[in-house]
């Protein structure tokens, strides 16, 4: 059987960068899934810190479970996928203790100068995604020190986080996940994520309050056959340091020959052969989960490496009566999948994106084979469905798409089963007004910037991974600050993904920390209604324009692609929110000359 090589794919793609295609590396091989620790010690306290009593304790730990008959080893929060739901109120403090019970991992082969090579899979930290809270990825939280390192919680350690939720934080669905650079993708795609709900005014709207609520946390679990002898599980994600799982096989120009699905280190097949390596493309086996239950399975297809073999599993069922209204909160917590969502034969009454509600429900009519909402990785949608008066089963679908490196088959996420005594519940006409994000006018814009998300294959800046995932032709540098913005100012950013000839082999989801943004245009089209989001899909050969108001918080933060293997291997940048905008040297000189002139007069 013929393998499609990476070079063949490049030719077929007319010079595309094959971004997600090329394999990558990673490493982690816990020696045991047992957790011998009774209590992890805390990280050292700074002089201004005190011990806190947490509202929630999250434990990062291994778990062996069965998915569709396959015994797998996964990473979890508190032994569950997804992790426990966190519910909080605006204007309060949220205190979370994160304990790392992952087993030690050998990163001794990692060259620490190559920060965009996945590494230290036993270290973790915490990101509250979508909340307007102080910067908390770098140590200490809130720091403006350019040289501040990322928070890194090692095995048998814990850290206490305290988050001040703003009084005007919009209520809605957010989430949490790890964000330790080099380990984010492996930890998230093996289970580490959970939901956060901020309660507020929208929950008191009578028609919404009367509706039953269905929460759907969507995740993917990427797996490889285990390399651990005598393991009591079949699949896991425990790559050795610098090992890369090759989505494509080699071709005649490569020094070493290997088929699709091989593991290499520095381009050379491992000897003896290994089954697991870090991937920026496909997996040997992948499950898609809704609230922890598998609804779809994919297996790598060596004959067509970008089109996995697909299998629909039995989805969850949500029961509604004819004419009943239900509130759905949906999180795309997948590591890399963009999801065009459709509810079969029902209008979708969209309430909010990324936890930011509209002024009134936006009705998205049902059109066959057309999405009602698009969820990039990390996006959340909240919507109402009024059940049909006709009893029956109606699917919640992720429609098929070919906008990414891997083809995505249509998937049935869940089924709405309409049965029972008819009713006629009302839908709301208006929703509470958000006060945190007033519209940004042209006059408020102090600067416009452009960021280009692209890939380069074969990789020149990141040869270990074999592909460069870049922003403005740069790979991530933990201690560089390419962008400085200023508190209480507004900027307009253009996020571009170029065409294939310039490295835009697929779309990328843009995500920024600290403050949400206002969407101005998508591919040159102004949205039909105002959108406030923290993540947005930017399709290949398009640009998205956003406006940002840097409000309340200062410090060192990041923005990045939320395809997590891209983020881990370089598609991320730091930015600094500084307290005050300085006076430029020429302005100071002019002012000084004016003062001297006035003194003479």
What is the model's pLDDT at position 23?
A: 32
What is the model's pLDDT at position 251?
A: 77
> CA-to-CA distance for 460 and 123, rounded, in angstroms?
27
Q: Is the pLDDT of residue 254 over 50?
A: yes
Instruction: Specify whether 386 is located in the same domain as 454.
Output: no
In this prediction, residues 108-112 reach a mean pLDDT of 93
The predicted model scores a pTM of 0.90
Q: Minimal CA–CA distance to 20: which of 3, 6, 8?
A: 6
At 425-456, the pLDDT tens digits run 999 999 999 999 999 999 999 999 999 999 99
Instruction: Specify whether 67 is located in the same domain as 193.
Output: yes
Instruction: Specify whether 132 is located in the same domain as 188.
Output: yes
Domain end marker among 383, 418, 453: 418
Identify whether 325 is part of a domain.
yes
Q: Give just the sign of the alpha carbon dihedral 135, 137, 142, 148.
A: negative
| DSSP labels, 166-230 | -TTPPPEEEEEE---TTTHHHHHTTT--EEEEEE-GGGGSHHHHTSEEEEEEEEEEEEEE--STT
Q: Is the pLDDT of residue 33 over 80?
A: no
What is the model's pLDDT at position 255?
A: 77
Identify whether 448 is part of a domain.
yes
Instruction: Specify whether 448 is located in the same domain as 413.
Output: no
Q: Minimal CA–CA distance to 298: which of 189, 457, 195, 416?
A: 189
Give percent of the chain with pLDDT exceeding 70.
Answer: 89
Strand partners, 375: 339
CB 503 within 8 A of CB 18: no
Q: Is the pLDDT of residue 592 over 70?
A: no
Domain end marker among 224, 241, 267: 224
Q: Is the pLDDT of residue 32 over 60?
A: no
What is the model's pLDDT at position 374?
A: 98
CB 60 within 8 A of CB 75: yes
In this prediction, residues 524-529 reach a mean pLDDT of 94
What is the model's pLDDT at position 47?
A: 62
What is the model's pLDDT at position 216?
A: 98
> CA-to-CA distance for 515 and 530, rounded, in angstroms?
16
* Residue count (the chain): 601
| DSSP labels, 110-145 | --TT-TTS---TT-B--EEET------SBSSTT---
Q: Is 231 left (phi over 0), alpha (psi -120 to 50) or beta?
A: beta
- Distances from the Cα of 390 to the Cα of 212, 316, 363, 393, 426, angstroms: 19, 20, 20, 10, 17
Judge residue 76's burial from the number of C-beta atoms within 10 Å of its C-beta, 0-12 exposed, 13-18 middle, 19 or more buried. Answer: buried
Widest Cα–Cα separation across the chain: 91
> CA-to-CA distance for 315 and 396, rounded, in angstroms?
10
Question: The domain containing residue 402 runs over which residues?
Answer: 285-294+304-418
Q: Is the pLDDT of residue 21 over 80?
A: no
What is the model's pLDDT at position 13?
A: 35
Identify whether 542 is part of a domain.
yes
Q: How many CA atoms lie within 13 A of 438 on its CB side?
A: 7
Instruction: Specify whether 522 is located in the same domain as 561.
Output: yes
What is the model's pLDDT at position 457?
A: 87
At 490-514, the pLDDT tens digits run 999 999 999 998 988 899 999 999 9
> CA-to-CA distance for 259 and 512, rounded, in angstroms?
38
433-466 as b/e, with b when 16 or more CB fall inside 10 Å? ebebbeebeeeeeeeeeebbbbbbbbbebbebbb
- Please tell me whether the peptide bond between 458 and the residue prior to it is cis, using omega within 30 degrees of 0: yes
Instruction: Specify whether 391 is located in the same domain as 531.
Output: no
- 294 compared with 29, residue with greater pLDDT: 294
Order of all β-strands in the sheet with 445-456: 468-471, 445-456, 490-497, 542-549, 517-522, 532-533
> CA-to-CA distance for 493 and 548, rounded, in angstroms?
8
Domain end marker among 190, 224, 258: 224
> CA-to-CA distance for 139 and 125, rounded, in angstroms?
11
Instruction: Specify whether 408 is located in the same domain as 357.
Output: yes
- Distances from the Cα of 382 to the Cα of 164, 218, 250, angstroms: 24, 14, 44
In this prediction, residues 68-85 reach a mean pLDDT of 97
**pLDDT interval class at 9 (50, 70, 90):** very low
Place of tokens 């209520």: 171
560: helix, strand or coil: strand
Q: Is 566 left (phi over 0), alpha (psi -120 to 50) or beta?
A: alpha
Instruction: Specify whether 58 is located in the same domain as 164.
Output: yes
Instruction: Specify whether 96 is located in the same domain as 185.
Output: yes
Instruction: Specify whether 351 is located in the same domain as 490.
Output: no
* φ and ψ of 8, to 5 deg: -60, -45
Judge residue 310's burial from the number of C-beta atoms within 10 Å of its C-beta, 0-12 exposed, 13-18 middle, 19 or more buried. Answer: middle
Q: Is the pLDDT of residue 14 over 60?
A: no
Identify whether 452 is part of a domain.
yes
> CA-to-CA distance for 231 and 32, rounded, in angstroms?
9
What is the model's pLDDT at position 12?
A: 34
Instruction: Specify whether 384 is located in the same domain as 479.
Output: no
CA torsion, points 213, 171, 129, 193, in degrees to nearest 10? -20
**pLDDT interval class at 5 (50, 70, 90):** very low
Instruction: Specify whether 464 is located in the same domain as 404.
Output: no
- 271 compared with 1, residue with greater pLDDT: 271
- 21 compared with 388, residue with greater pLDDT: 388
What is the model's pLDDT at position 242?
A: 94
What is the model's pLDDT at position 50?
A: 62
> CA-to-CA distance for 181 and 572, rounded, in angstroms?
10
| Pairing mode of beta strands 483-486, 572-578 | parallel
Q: Is the pLDDT of residue 167 over 70?
A: yes
> Which of the residue ranges 228-242, 296-310, 428-442, 578-592 would you say has the lowest mean pLDDT?
578-592
> Which of the residue ranges 18-22, 296-300, 397-401, 480-484 would you say has the lowest mean pLDDT?
18-22
Radius of gyration of the chain (CA): 24
- State the DSSP code for 442: G
Identify whether 593 is part of a domain.
no
What is the model's pLDDT at position 46?
A: 61
Q: Minimal CA–CA distance to 509: which of 524, 491, 522, 499?
A: 522
Identify whether 235 is part of a domain.
no
Q: How many folded domains does the chain comprise? A: 3
> CA-to-CA distance for 63 and 78, rounded, in angstroms?
9
Q: Is the pLDDT of residue 64 over 60?
A: yes
Identify whether 313 is part of a domain.
yes
> CA-to-CA distance for 579 and 551, rounded, in angstroms?
10
* φ and ψ of 162, to 5 deg: -125, 120
- Please tell me whether the peptide bond between 130 and the residue prior to it is cis, using omega within 30 degrees of 0: no
Query: Within its chain, how far is the Cα of 511 from the centroid?
Result: 8
428: helix, strand or coil: coil
Instruction: Give the chain's mean pLDDT.
Output: 90
| Pairing mode of beta strands 263-265, 268-269 | antiparallel
Give the domain CATH number at 407: 2.60.40.420
Identify whether 12 is part of a domain.
no
């Amino acid at each position: 059987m013929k393998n499609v090589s990476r070079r063949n794919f490049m030719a077929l793609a007319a010079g595309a960068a094959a971004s997600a295609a090329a394999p990558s590396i990673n490493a982690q091989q816990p020696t045991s899934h047992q957790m011998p620790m009774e209590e992890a010690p805390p990280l050292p306290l700074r002089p201004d810190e005190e011990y806190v009593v947490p509202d929630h304790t999250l434990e990062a730990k291994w778990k062996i479970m069965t998915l569709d008959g396959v015994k797998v080893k996964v990473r979890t929060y508190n032994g569950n996928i997804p992790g426990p739901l966190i519910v909080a109120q605006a204007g309060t403090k949220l205190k979370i203790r994160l304990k790392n019970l992952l087993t030690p991992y050998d990163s001794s082969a990692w060259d620490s100068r190559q920060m965009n090579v996945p590494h230290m899979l036993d270290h973790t930290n915490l990101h509250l995604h979508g909340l307007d809270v102080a910067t908390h990825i770098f140590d200490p939280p809130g720091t403006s020190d350019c040289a501040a390192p990322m928070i890194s919680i090692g095995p048998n350690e814990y850290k206490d986080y305290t988050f001040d939720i703003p009084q005007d934080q919009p209520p809605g669905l957010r989430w949490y996940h790890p964000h330790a650079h080099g380990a984010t993708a492996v930890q998230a795609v093996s289970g580490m994520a959970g939901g956060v709900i901020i309660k507020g005014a929208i929950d008191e709207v009578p028609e919404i309050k009367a509706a039953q609520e269905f929460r759907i946390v969507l995740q993917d679990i990427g797996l490889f056959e285990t390399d651990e002898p005598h393991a009591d599980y079949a699949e896991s994600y425990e790559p050795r340091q610098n090992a890369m799982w090759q989505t494509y096989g080699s071709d005649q120009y490569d020094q070493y020959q290997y088929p699709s699905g091989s593991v290499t280190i520095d381009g050379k097949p491992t000897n003896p052969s290994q089954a697991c390596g870090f991937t920026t493309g496909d997996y040997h086996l992948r499950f898609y989960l809704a609230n922890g239950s598998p609804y779809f399975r994919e297996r790598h297809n060596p004959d067509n490496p970008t089109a996995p073999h697909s299998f629909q599993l039995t989805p969850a069922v949500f029961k509604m009566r004819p004419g009943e209204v239900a509130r759905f909160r949906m999180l795309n917590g997948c590591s890399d999948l963009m999801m065009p969502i459709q509810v079969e034969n029902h209008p979708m009454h969209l309430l909010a994106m990324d936890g930011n509600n509209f002024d009134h429900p936006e009705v998205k009519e049902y059109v066959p084979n057309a999405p009602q909402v698009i969820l990039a990785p990390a996006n959340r949608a909240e919507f109402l469905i009024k059940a049909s008066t006709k009893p029956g089963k109606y699917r919640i679908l992720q429609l098929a798409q070919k906008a990414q490196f891997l083809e995505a088959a249509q998937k049935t996420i869940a089924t709405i089963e309409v049965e029972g005594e008819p009713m006629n519940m009302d839908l709301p006409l208006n929703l509470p007004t958000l006060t945190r994000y007033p519209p940004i006018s042209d006059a408020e814009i102090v600067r416009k910037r452009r960021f280009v998300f692209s890939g380069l294959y074969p990789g020149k800046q990141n040869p270990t991974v074999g592909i460069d995932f870049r922003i403005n032709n740069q790979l991530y540098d933990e201690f560089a600050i390419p962008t400085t913005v200023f508190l209480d100012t507004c900027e307009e950013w253009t996020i571009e993904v170029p065409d294939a000839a310039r490295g835009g082999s697929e779309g990328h989801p843009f995500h920024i920390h600290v403050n949400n943004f206002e969407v101005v245009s998508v591919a040159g089209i102004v949205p039909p209604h105002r959108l406030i989001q923290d993540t947005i899909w930017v399709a290949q050969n398009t640009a998205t324009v956003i406006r940002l108001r840097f409000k309340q918080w200062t410090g060192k933060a990041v923005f990045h692609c939320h395809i997590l293997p891209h983020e881990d291997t370089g598609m991320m940048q730091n930015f600094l929110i500084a307290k005050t905008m300085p006076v430029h040297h020429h302005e100071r000189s002019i002012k000084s000359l004016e003062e001297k002139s006035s003194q003479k007069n």
